[in-house]
């Protein structure tokens, strides 16, 4: 289980927490960062895309769509 906390404890404000769980509900990893920290948000999204294929868009070939 990995925890990634990218926020300062003495800094007040809203946080975003993302928890990744397996099929049985066990916690795999979590990410916490401040709402205003856009750089960390991009970093977390890129990690999720790389590790879990999260938000990966399927490329469609427009030339062969008519075959379906």
Nearest to 2 by CA among 17, 16, 20: 20
- Reported pTM: 0.63
* Domain boundary assignment for the chain: 2-53
What pLDDT is recorded for position 26?
93
Distance CA 48, CA 54 (A): 6
Q: Encoding tokens for residue 10?
A: 């003495």
Task: Let me know: does 34 contact 14? Beta carbons within 8 Å.
Answer: yes
Distance CA 13, CA 6 (A): 13
Distance CA 30, CA 17 (A): 7
Q: Summarize pLDDT for 11-49 with one digit per residue, the tens.
A: 667 888 899 999 999 999 989 888 888 888 899 888 888
């Amino acid at each position: 289980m990995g925890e990634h906390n990218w926020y300062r404890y003495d800094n007040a404000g809203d946080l975003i927490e993302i928890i990744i769980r397996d099929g049985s509900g066990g916690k795999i990893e979590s990410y916490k960062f401040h709402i205003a920290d856009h750089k960390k948000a991009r970093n977390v999204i890129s990690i999720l895309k790389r590790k879990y294929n999260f938000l990966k868009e399927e490329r469609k070939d427009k030339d062969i769509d008519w075959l379906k």
